[in-house]
Amino acid sequence: MLWFRRDLRLRDHPALVAAAADGEVLPLFVLDDALWGPSGDVRRAHLLRSLRSLDAALGGHLVVEHGDPADVVPRVARRAGAARVHVSADAGPYGRRRDDAVAAALAGAGRELVRTGTPYAIGPGTLRTAAGTPFQVFNAYSRAWLAHGVPAPAPPARARWVRDGGPGLDAPGRPAEPDLGGVELPPAGEDAALARWASFREHALGAYEHGRDRPDLDGTSQLSHALKWGELHPRTLLHDLRGHEGPGAASYRSELAWRDFYADVLWHRPDSARGYYAPQLAQLRYESPDSEAFRAWCEGRTGYPVVDAGMRQMRSVGWVHNRVRLIVGSFLVKDLHVEWTHGGREFMRRLRDADLSSNTHNWQWVAGSGPDAGPFFRVFNPITQGLKFDPEGEYVRRYVPELRHLPGKAAHTPWEAADGYAHGYPQRIVDHARERRVALEEYARVRDRDRDRDRDRRG
Protein backbone atom coordinates (compact mmCIF):
# COMPACT_ATOMS: atom_id res chain seq x y z
CA MET A 1 0.00 0.00 0.00
CA LEU A 2 0.97 3.60 -0.53
CA TRP A 3 -0.73 5.91 1.97
CA PHE A 4 -0.82 9.41 0.44
CA ARG A 5 -0.79 12.42 2.79
CA ARG A 6 1.17 15.57 1.94
CA ASP A 7 2.60 14.01 -1.23
CA LEU A 8 -0.24 14.19 -3.75
CA ARG A 9 1.86 13.56 -6.86
CA LEU A 10 3.42 10.73 -8.88
CA ARG A 11 6.72 12.33 -9.93
CA ASP A 12 9.77 12.64 -7.66
CA HIS A 13 8.17 10.47 -4.98
CA PRO A 14 10.62 8.26 -3.04
CA ALA A 15 7.90 6.47 -1.08
CA LEU A 16 6.17 5.57 -4.34
CA VAL A 17 9.44 4.21 -5.73
CA ALA A 18 9.82 2.05 -2.62
CA ALA A 19 6.22 0.84 -2.83
CA ALA A 20 6.49 0.02 -6.54
CA ALA A 21 9.54 -2.13 -5.83
CA ASP A 22 7.35 -4.23 -3.50
CA GLY A 23 4.87 -5.26 -6.20
CA GLU A 24 1.33 -4.17 -6.97
CA VAL A 25 0.36 -0.98 -5.11
CA LEU A 26 -2.96 -0.03 -3.54
CA PRO A 27 -3.14 3.81 -3.27
CA LEU A 28 -4.94 5.09 -0.16
CA PHE A 29 -5.93 8.46 1.25
CA VAL A 30 -7.53 8.76 4.70
CA LEU A 31 -9.84 11.65 5.53
CA ASP A 32 -8.72 12.17 9.11
CA ASP A 33 -11.12 14.19 11.28
CA ALA A 34 -8.19 15.46 13.37
CA LEU A 35 -6.98 17.33 10.26
CA TRP A 36 -10.19 17.77 8.29
CA GLY A 37 -12.13 19.26 11.20
CA PRO A 38 -9.92 22.32 11.91
CA SER A 39 -9.37 23.06 8.20
CA GLY A 40 -11.17 25.97 6.63
CA ASP A 41 -13.36 25.52 3.56
CA VAL A 42 -10.68 26.89 1.22
CA ARG A 43 -8.16 24.29 2.33
CA ARG A 44 -10.77 21.53 2.17
CA ALA A 45 -11.79 22.53 -1.34
CA HIS A 46 -8.22 22.60 -2.59
CA LEU A 47 -7.48 19.21 -1.01
CA LEU A 48 -10.54 17.59 -2.62
CA ARG A 49 -9.62 19.06 -6.02
CA SER A 50 -6.04 17.84 -5.63
CA LEU A 51 -7.26 14.36 -4.69
CA ARG A 52 -9.50 14.34 -7.74
CA SER A 53 -6.52 15.23 -9.93
CA LEU A 54 -4.43 12.50 -8.28
CA ASP A 55 -7.21 9.94 -8.75
CA ALA A 56 -7.36 10.76 -12.45
CA ALA A 57 -3.59 10.27 -12.74
CA LEU A 58 -4.02 6.90 -10.97
CA GLY A 59 -6.65 5.78 -13.45
CA GLY A 60 -9.40 5.94 -10.84
CA HIS A 61 -7.66 3.57 -8.42
CA LEU A 62 -7.44 5.87 -5.39
CA VAL A 63 -9.16 4.42 -2.31
CA VAL A 64 -10.51 7.12 0.02
CA GLU A 65 -11.42 6.05 3.55
CA HIS A 66 -12.67 8.10 6.46
CA GLY A 67 -11.74 7.78 10.12
CA ASP A 68 -8.84 7.46 12.55
CA PRO A 69 -5.78 6.30 10.57
CA ALA A 70 -4.72 4.03 13.45
CA ASP A 71 -7.92 2.06 12.75
CA VAL A 72 -8.34 2.62 9.02
CA VAL A 73 -4.84 1.88 7.72
CA PRO A 74 -4.44 -1.54 9.42
CA ARG A 75 -7.97 -2.48 8.32
CA VAL A 76 -7.32 -1.61 4.67
CA ALA A 77 -3.91 -3.33 4.78
CA ARG A 78 -5.56 -6.48 6.11
CA ARG A 79 -8.29 -6.28 3.49
CA ALA A 80 -5.73 -5.84 0.70
CA GLY A 81 -3.27 -8.40 2.06
CA ALA A 82 -0.51 -5.75 2.13
CA ALA A 83 2.54 -6.65 4.20
CA ARG A 84 3.96 -3.13 4.06
CA VAL A 85 2.41 0.34 4.07
CA HIS A 86 4.66 2.96 2.48
CA VAL A 87 4.49 6.64 3.43
CA SER A 88 6.45 9.87 3.18
CA ALA A 89 7.58 10.62 6.73
CA ASP A 90 5.61 13.33 8.54
CA ALA A 91 7.61 15.86 10.59
CA GLY A 92 4.73 17.62 12.36
CA PRO A 93 3.82 16.99 16.01
CA TYR A 94 0.45 15.38 15.24
CA GLY A 95 1.75 13.49 12.22
CA ARG A 96 4.57 11.90 14.19
CA ARG A 97 2.19 10.75 16.94
CA ARG A 98 -0.31 9.46 14.39
CA ASP A 99 2.32 7.53 12.44
CA ASP A 100 3.74 5.96 15.59
CA ALA A 101 0.23 4.79 16.48
CA VAL A 102 -0.33 3.38 12.97
CA ALA A 103 3.08 1.66 13.02
CA ALA A 104 2.26 0.02 16.35
CA ALA A 105 -1.15 -1.14 15.11
CA LEU A 106 0.36 -2.58 11.94
CA ALA A 107 3.17 -4.29 13.84
CA GLY A 108 0.60 -5.98 16.05
CA ALA A 109 -0.69 -7.72 12.92
CA GLY A 110 2.76 -8.54 11.54
CA ARG A 111 2.77 -5.65 9.09
CA GLU A 112 5.17 -2.73 8.68
CA LEU A 113 4.96 1.04 8.18
CA VAL A 114 7.83 2.06 5.88
CA ARG A 115 8.73 5.78 5.96
CA THR A 116 10.71 7.07 2.97
CA GLY A 117 11.49 10.72 2.26
CA THR A 118 9.86 13.85 3.68
CA PRO A 119 7.98 16.88 2.29
CA TYR A 120 11.15 18.97 2.72
CA ALA A 121 14.36 19.41 0.76
CA ILE A 122 16.32 18.36 3.87
CA GLY A 123 14.35 16.49 6.48
CA PRO A 124 13.75 18.20 9.84
CA GLY A 125 16.20 17.08 12.51
CA THR A 126 18.95 16.37 9.96
CA LEU A 127 21.12 19.47 10.38
CA ARG A 128 22.86 20.45 13.61
CA THR A 129 25.29 23.14 14.68
CA ALA A 130 28.96 22.30 15.24
CA ALA A 131 28.06 21.89 18.93
CA GLY A 132 25.39 19.34 18.05
CA THR A 133 22.49 21.59 18.96
CA PRO A 134 19.48 22.64 16.84
CA PHE A 135 19.86 25.79 14.77
CA GLN A 136 18.14 28.90 16.12
CA VAL A 137 19.46 31.43 13.58
CA PHE A 138 18.39 31.23 9.95
CA ASN A 139 21.62 32.45 8.34
CA ALA A 140 23.65 29.73 10.07
CA TYR A 141 21.03 27.14 9.17
CA SER A 142 20.96 28.33 5.57
CA ARG A 143 24.73 27.97 5.22
CA ALA A 144 24.56 24.41 6.56
CA TRP A 145 21.56 23.72 4.32
CA LEU A 146 23.42 24.86 1.21
CA ALA A 147 26.57 22.94 2.19
CA HIS A 148 24.61 19.75 2.85
CA GLY A 149 23.17 19.65 -0.64
CA VAL A 150 19.96 18.07 -1.87
CA PRO A 151 19.76 14.70 -3.61
CA ALA A 152 18.56 14.40 -7.18
CA PRO A 153 14.85 13.86 -7.74
CA ALA A 154 13.59 10.32 -7.28
CA PRO A 155 13.51 8.25 -10.49
CA PRO A 156 10.19 7.58 -12.23
CA ALA A 157 8.21 4.80 -10.60
CA ARG A 158 6.40 2.26 -12.75
CA ALA A 159 3.80 1.17 -10.27
CA ARG A 160 1.12 -1.42 -11.00
CA TRP A 161 -1.88 0.19 -9.38
CA VAL A 162 -4.68 -1.95 -7.99
CA ARG A 163 -7.92 -1.26 -6.19
CA ASP A 164 -9.47 -3.67 -3.72
CA GLY A 165 -13.06 -2.62 -4.10
CA GLY A 166 -12.69 0.06 -1.42
CA PRO A 167 -14.55 3.38 -1.67
CA GLY A 168 -13.42 6.23 -3.86
CA LEU A 169 -13.65 9.99 -3.48
CA ASP A 170 -17.30 10.06 -4.55
CA ALA A 171 -18.47 7.18 -2.36
CA PRO A 172 -21.52 7.79 -0.13
CA GLY A 173 -20.58 9.60 3.03
CA ARG A 174 -17.52 11.27 1.55
CA PRO A 175 -17.54 15.07 1.97
CA ALA A 176 -18.76 17.24 -0.86
CA GLU A 177 -16.66 20.16 -1.96
CA PRO A 178 -17.55 23.21 0.16
CA ASP A 179 -19.36 26.13 -1.41
CA LEU A 180 -16.70 28.85 -1.47
CA GLY A 181 -19.01 31.62 -2.62
CA GLY A 182 -16.88 34.04 -4.59
CA VAL A 183 -13.47 32.65 -3.60
CA GLU A 184 -11.46 31.80 -6.71
CA LEU A 185 -8.82 29.08 -6.41
CA PRO A 186 -6.16 28.19 -8.99
CA PRO A 187 -6.15 24.74 -10.57
CA ALA A 188 -5.12 21.97 -8.19
CA GLY A 189 -2.88 18.97 -8.73
CA GLU A 190 0.57 18.01 -9.90
CA ASP A 191 0.25 19.02 -13.55
CA ALA A 192 -1.09 22.47 -12.64
CA ALA A 193 1.73 22.99 -10.15
CA LEU A 194 4.40 22.01 -12.68
CA ALA A 195 2.86 24.32 -15.28
CA ARG A 196 2.90 27.21 -12.81
CA TRP A 197 6.52 26.45 -11.91
CA ALA A 198 7.55 26.48 -15.58
CA SER A 199 5.78 29.79 -16.16
CA PHE A 200 7.41 31.35 -13.10
CA ARG A 201 10.90 30.24 -14.16
CA GLU A 202 10.39 31.72 -17.59
CA HIS A 203 8.76 35.01 -16.67
CA ALA A 204 9.58 35.99 -13.08
CA LEU A 205 12.56 34.11 -11.66
CA GLY A 206 15.13 36.57 -12.98
CA ALA A 207 13.49 39.50 -11.17
CA TYR A 208 12.47 37.52 -8.09
CA GLU A 209 14.98 39.14 -5.72
CA HIS A 210 12.97 42.37 -5.78
CA GLY A 211 9.77 41.28 -7.52
CA ARG A 212 8.86 39.01 -4.59
CA ASP A 213 8.22 42.13 -2.47
CA ARG A 214 5.78 43.70 -4.94
CA PRO A 215 2.17 42.58 -4.40
CA ASP A 216 1.09 44.61 -7.41
CA LEU A 217 3.17 42.37 -9.71
CA ASP A 218 2.98 38.67 -10.53
CA GLY A 219 6.47 38.26 -9.12
CA THR A 220 6.17 35.14 -6.95
CA SER A 221 5.72 31.49 -7.83
CA GLN A 222 2.49 31.13 -5.80
CA LEU A 223 3.41 27.50 -5.20
CA SER A 224 3.07 27.53 -1.43
CA HIS A 225 -0.17 25.54 -1.60
CA ALA A 226 1.42 23.03 -3.98
CA LEU A 227 4.35 22.57 -1.58
CA LYS A 228 1.94 22.30 1.35
CA TRP A 229 0.10 19.38 -0.27
CA GLY A 230 3.13 17.89 -1.99
CA GLU A 231 1.78 18.40 -5.49
CA LEU A 232 5.44 18.93 -6.24
CA HIS A 233 8.54 18.50 -4.09
CA PRO A 234 11.05 21.25 -3.25
CA ARG A 235 13.78 18.89 -4.42
CA THR A 236 12.25 19.14 -7.92
CA LEU A 237 12.40 22.93 -7.77
CA LEU A 238 16.00 22.98 -6.57
CA HIS A 239 17.00 20.53 -9.29
CA ASP A 240 15.37 22.74 -11.93
CA LEU A 241 17.25 25.76 -10.56
CA ARG A 242 20.60 24.25 -11.50
CA GLY A 243 22.31 26.61 -13.89
CA HIS A 244 20.31 29.59 -12.59
CA GLU A 245 22.88 31.45 -10.52
CA GLY A 246 21.54 34.99 -10.55
CA PRO A 247 20.15 36.85 -7.51
CA GLY A 248 16.61 35.76 -8.33
CA ALA A 249 17.46 32.07 -8.11
CA ALA A 250 19.50 32.65 -4.95
CA SER A 251 16.54 34.41 -3.32
CA TYR A 252 14.21 31.58 -4.30
CA ARG A 253 16.55 28.99 -2.81
CA SER A 254 16.63 31.06 0.36
CA GLU A 255 12.83 30.99 0.59
CA LEU A 256 12.88 27.19 0.32
CA ALA A 257 15.51 27.15 3.06
CA TRP A 258 13.23 29.23 5.30
CA ARG A 259 10.52 26.62 4.80
CA ASP A 260 12.90 23.86 5.90
CA PHE A 261 14.20 25.98 8.79
CA TYR A 262 10.75 26.48 10.27
CA ALA A 263 9.97 22.77 9.92
CA ASP A 264 13.23 22.02 11.70
CA VAL A 265 12.30 24.42 14.51
CA LEU A 266 8.95 22.68 14.94
CA TRP A 267 10.68 19.27 14.95
CA HIS A 268 12.81 20.28 17.93
CA ARG A 269 10.23 22.53 19.60
CA PRO A 270 6.75 21.08 18.98
CA ASP A 271 5.43 23.34 21.74
CA SER A 272 6.06 26.33 19.44
CA ALA A 273 3.17 25.19 17.23
CA ARG A 274 0.76 26.87 19.62
CA GLY A 275 2.92 28.69 22.16
CA TYR A 276 5.71 31.24 22.26
CA TYR A 277 9.13 30.10 21.08
CA ALA A 278 10.59 32.93 23.20
CA PRO A 279 8.39 32.88 26.32
CA GLN A 280 9.41 36.32 27.58
CA LEU A 281 7.03 38.06 25.20
CA ALA A 282 4.12 36.01 26.47
CA GLN A 283 4.00 38.61 29.27
CA LEU A 284 2.84 41.37 26.92
CA ARG A 285 -0.68 42.63 27.59
CA TYR A 286 -3.02 42.25 24.63
CA GLU A 287 -6.53 43.32 23.74
CA SER A 288 -9.32 40.77 23.50
CA PRO A 289 -9.96 39.32 20.03
CA ASP A 290 -13.68 39.70 20.81
CA SER A 291 -13.57 43.25 19.57
CA GLU A 292 -14.81 45.28 16.66
CA ALA A 293 -11.20 46.14 15.82
CA PHE A 294 -10.29 42.48 15.34
CA ARG A 295 -13.39 41.90 13.22
CA ALA A 296 -12.50 44.96 11.12
CA TRP A 297 -9.02 43.55 10.57
CA CYS A 298 -10.39 40.15 9.54
CA GLU A 299 -12.82 41.72 7.08
CA GLY A 300 -10.48 44.36 5.64
CA ARG A 301 -12.18 47.41 7.17
CA THR A 302 -9.33 49.04 9.10
CA GLY A 303 -9.10 52.19 6.97
CA TYR A 304 -5.49 51.41 6.05
CA PRO A 305 -5.60 50.51 2.35
CA VAL A 306 -2.74 47.99 2.05
CA VAL A 307 -3.90 46.18 5.20
CA ASP A 308 -7.45 45.98 3.91
CA ALA A 309 -6.30 44.88 0.46
CA GLY A 310 -4.34 42.01 2.01
CA MET A 311 -7.19 40.76 4.15
CA ARG A 312 -9.62 41.03 1.24
CA GLN A 313 -7.18 39.21 -1.03
CA MET A 314 -7.21 36.32 1.44
CA ARG A 315 -11.00 36.22 1.34
CA SER A 316 -11.02 36.46 -2.46
CA VAL A 317 -8.40 33.91 -3.49
CA GLY A 318 -7.36 32.06 -0.32
CA TRP A 319 -3.84 33.45 -0.51
CA VAL A 320 -1.96 36.60 0.53
CA HIS A 321 1.28 37.99 -0.84
CA ASN A 322 4.14 37.36 1.61
CA ARG A 323 5.15 41.01 2.03
CA VAL A 324 1.53 41.87 2.78
CA ARG A 325 1.32 39.03 5.33
CA LEU A 326 4.05 40.81 7.26
CA ILE A 327 2.27 44.15 7.00
CA VAL A 328 -1.13 42.87 8.15
CA GLY A 329 0.53 40.81 10.90
CA SER A 330 2.43 43.77 12.27
CA PHE A 331 -0.74 45.87 12.17
CA LEU A 332 -2.72 43.31 14.15
CA VAL A 333 -0.08 42.80 16.84
CA LYS A 334 1.35 46.30 17.17
CA ASP A 335 -1.43 48.66 16.05
CA LEU A 336 -4.44 46.72 17.33
CA HIS A 337 -2.55 44.97 20.16
CA VAL A 338 -4.17 41.59 19.47
CA GLU A 339 -2.06 38.52 20.22
CA TRP A 340 -0.46 36.84 17.21
CA THR A 341 -2.15 33.51 17.96
CA HIS A 342 -5.52 34.92 16.87
CA GLY A 343 -4.11 36.14 13.57
CA GLY A 344 -2.45 32.78 13.06
CA ARG A 345 -5.78 30.99 13.51
CA GLU A 346 -7.51 33.31 11.04
CA PHE A 347 -4.81 32.56 8.47
CA MET A 348 -5.04 28.81 9.09
CA ARG A 349 -8.78 29.01 8.54
CA ARG A 350 -8.74 31.00 5.31
CA LEU A 351 -5.50 30.22 3.45
CA ARG A 352 -5.22 27.48 0.86
CA ASP A 353 -1.52 27.14 1.72
CA ALA A 354 -2.03 27.10 5.52
CA ASP A 355 0.96 25.18 6.86
CA LEU A 356 1.50 24.81 10.59
CA SER A 357 5.26 25.38 10.82
CA SER A 358 5.48 28.20 8.27
CA ASN A 359 2.33 29.99 9.42
CA THR A 360 3.10 29.80 13.15
CA HIS A 361 6.72 30.83 12.93
CA ASN A 362 6.13 33.61 10.43
CA TRP A 363 3.55 35.02 12.84
CA GLN A 364 6.05 34.68 15.67
CA TRP A 365 8.62 36.46 13.48
CA VAL A 366 6.25 39.43 13.25
CA ALA A 367 5.49 39.27 16.98
CA GLY A 368 9.17 39.17 17.90
CA SER A 369 8.83 35.86 19.75
CA GLY A 370 10.01 33.36 17.15
CA PRO A 371 13.38 31.88 16.25
CA ASP A 372 15.57 34.52 14.61
CA ALA A 373 12.53 36.83 14.66
CA GLY A 374 12.28 40.47 13.78
CA PRO A 375 12.62 42.51 16.98
CA PHE A 376 9.33 43.52 18.55
CA PHE A 377 10.27 47.18 18.21
CA ARG A 378 10.28 46.82 14.43
CA VAL A 379 6.81 48.17 13.73
CA PHE A 380 5.71 48.30 10.10
CA ASN A 381 4.15 51.60 9.06
CA PRO A 382 1.20 50.51 6.90
CA ILE A 383 1.24 53.72 4.89
CA THR A 384 4.92 53.81 3.97
CA GLN A 385 4.95 50.04 3.38
CA GLY A 386 2.09 50.41 0.94
CA LEU A 387 3.73 53.30 -0.88
CA LYS A 388 7.05 51.46 -1.10
CA PHE A 389 5.84 48.08 -2.31
CA ASP A 390 2.69 49.09 -4.21
CA PRO A 391 3.95 52.42 -5.55
CA GLU A 392 1.14 53.02 -8.06
CA GLY A 393 -1.66 51.66 -5.87
CA GLU A 394 -2.52 48.85 -8.30
CA TYR A 395 -2.71 46.20 -5.59
CA VAL A 396 -4.97 48.33 -3.40
CA ARG A 397 -7.34 49.13 -6.27
CA ARG A 398 -7.50 45.44 -7.23
CA TYR A 399 -8.95 44.41 -3.87
CA VAL A 400 -10.49 47.60 -2.47
CA PRO A 401 -13.07 48.78 -5.02
CA GLU A 402 -14.04 51.79 -2.87
CA LEU A 403 -10.65 53.31 -3.76
CA ARG A 404 -10.54 52.59 -7.49
CA HIS A 405 -11.40 56.17 -8.30
CA LEU A 406 -8.14 57.40 -6.73
CA PRO A 407 -5.24 57.49 -9.19
CA GLY A 408 -1.71 56.24 -8.57
CA LYS A 409 -0.31 56.35 -5.08
CA ALA A 410 -3.29 58.40 -3.85
CA ALA A 411 -5.03 55.07 -3.23
CA HIS A 412 -2.82 54.67 -0.15
CA THR A 413 -3.90 57.97 1.44
CA PRO A 414 -7.62 58.53 0.82
CA TRP A 415 -7.75 60.97 3.75
CA GLU A 416 -5.68 63.38 1.65
CA ALA A 417 -8.15 63.41 -1.26
CA ALA A 418 -11.29 65.52 -1.27
CA ASP A 419 -13.29 62.55 -2.60
CA GLY A 420 -11.26 59.86 -0.83
CA TYR A 421 -14.25 58.52 1.07
CA ALA A 422 -16.84 59.13 -1.65
CA HIS A 423 -17.48 55.44 -2.26
CA GLY A 424 -17.82 54.21 1.30
CA TYR A 425 -14.28 53.36 2.30
CA PRO A 426 -14.03 53.37 6.13
CA GLN A 427 -12.11 55.89 8.20
CA ARG A 428 -8.98 54.68 9.99
CA ILE A 429 -9.91 52.78 13.13
CA VAL A 430 -6.69 53.70 14.98
CA ASP A 431 -3.91 56.27 14.75
CA HIS A 432 -0.77 54.39 13.75
CA ALA A 433 1.69 56.79 15.38
CA ARG A 434 -0.13 56.61 18.71
CA GLU A 435 -0.52 52.83 18.67
CA ARG A 436 3.13 52.38 17.78
CA ARG A 437 4.04 54.31 20.95
CA VAL A 438 1.65 52.16 23.01
CA ALA A 439 3.21 48.97 21.63
CA LEU A 440 6.76 50.11 22.34
CA GLU A 441 5.84 51.25 25.85
CA GLU A 442 4.35 47.84 26.59
CA TYR A 443 7.44 46.13 25.18
CA ALA A 444 9.67 48.36 27.35
CA ARG A 445 7.62 47.42 30.43
CA VAL A 446 8.21 43.70 29.86
CA ARG A 447 11.86 44.19 28.91
CA ASP A 448 12.60 46.32 31.96
CA ARG A 449 10.81 43.93 34.30
CA ASP A 450 12.91 41.05 32.96
CA ARG A 451 16.07 43.12 33.45
CA ASP A 452 15.11 43.94 37.04
CA ARG A 453 14.36 40.29 37.75
CA ASP A 454 17.71 39.20 36.32
CA ARG A 455 19.51 41.86 38.34
CA ASP A 456 17.75 40.72 41.52
CA ARG A 457 18.76 37.12 40.88
CA ARG A 458 22.40 38.13 40.50
CA GLY A 459 21.90 39.97 43.68
The 10s digit of each residue's pLDDT in 187-232 is 999 999 999 999 999 999 999 999 999 999 999 999 999 999 999 9
- Tell me, yes or no, whether 196 and 344 share the same domain: no
In this prediction, residues 261-271 reach a mean pLDDT of 97
- Tell me, yes or no, whether 422 and 286 share the same domain: yes
pLDDT at 447: 86
pLDDT at 410: 98
Domain that holds residue 146: 119-155+190-268
Last residue of a domain, one of 117, 140, 174: 117
Measured CA to CA, the distance from residue 87 to residue 89 in angstroms comes to 6
CATH code (residue 366): 1.10.579.10
Q: Examine residue 182 and state whether it is found in any structural domain, yes or no.
A: no
- Tell me, yes or no, whether 207 and 353 share the same domain: no
Number of Cβ within 10 Å of residue 209's Cβ equals: 17
- Tell me, yes or no, whether 77 and 151 share the same domain: no
- Tell me, yes or no, whether 131 and 99 share the same domain: no
What is the value of pTM for the model shown? 0.94
- Tell me, yes or no, whether 110 and 256 share the same domain: no
Q: Examine residue 161 and state whether it is found in any structural domain, yes or no.
A: no
- Is the predicted pLDDT of residue 454 greater than 90, yes or no? no
pLDDT higher at 380 or 457: 380
Instruction: Return phi, psi of residue 27, to 5°.
Output: -85, 135
In this prediction, residues 9-27 reach a mean pLDDT of 97
- Tell me, yes or no, whether 19 and 147 share the same domain: no
pLDDT at 373: 85
Query: What is the chain's mean pLDDT, rounded?
Result: 95
- Tell me, yes or no, whether 79 and 130 share the same domain: no
- Is the predicted pLDDT of residue 452 greater than 70, yes or no? no
Q: Cβ contacts of residue 100 below 8 Å, gap of 6+?
A: none
Q: Sorting pLDDT into bands at 50, 70 and 90, what band is 458?
A: low
Total domains in the chain come to 3
Last residue of a domain, one of 91, 117, 143: 117
Under a CB-based contact definition with an 8 Å cutoff, are residues 232 and 197 in contact?
yes
Measured CA to CA, the distance from residue 40 to residue 38 in angstroms comes to 7
Torsion of CA 36, 225, 94, 143, to 10 degrees: 180
Nearest alpha carbon to residue 7 among 226, 241, 266, 159:
226
- Is the predicted pLDDT of residue 384 greater than 90, yes or no? yes
pLDDT at 449: 78
CATH code (residue 201): 1.25.40.80
How would you label 369-379 residue by residue, b for 16+ Cβ within 10 Å and e otherwise?
bbbbbbebeeb
- Tell me, yes or no, whether 363 and 292 share the same domain: yes
> What confidence tens digit (pLDDT) does each residue in 71-94 have?
999 999 999 999 999 999 999 999
- Tell me the DSSP string of 38-73: TS-HHHHHHHHHHHHHHHHHTTS--EEEES-HHHHH
pLDDT at 167: 95
Last residue of a domain, one of 268, 291, 323: 268
- Tell me, yes or no, whether 289 and 432 share the same domain: yes
- Tell me, yes or no, whether 22 and 93 share the same domain: yes
pLDDT higher at 449 or 301: 301
Number of Cβ within 10 Å of residue 304's Cβ equals: 27
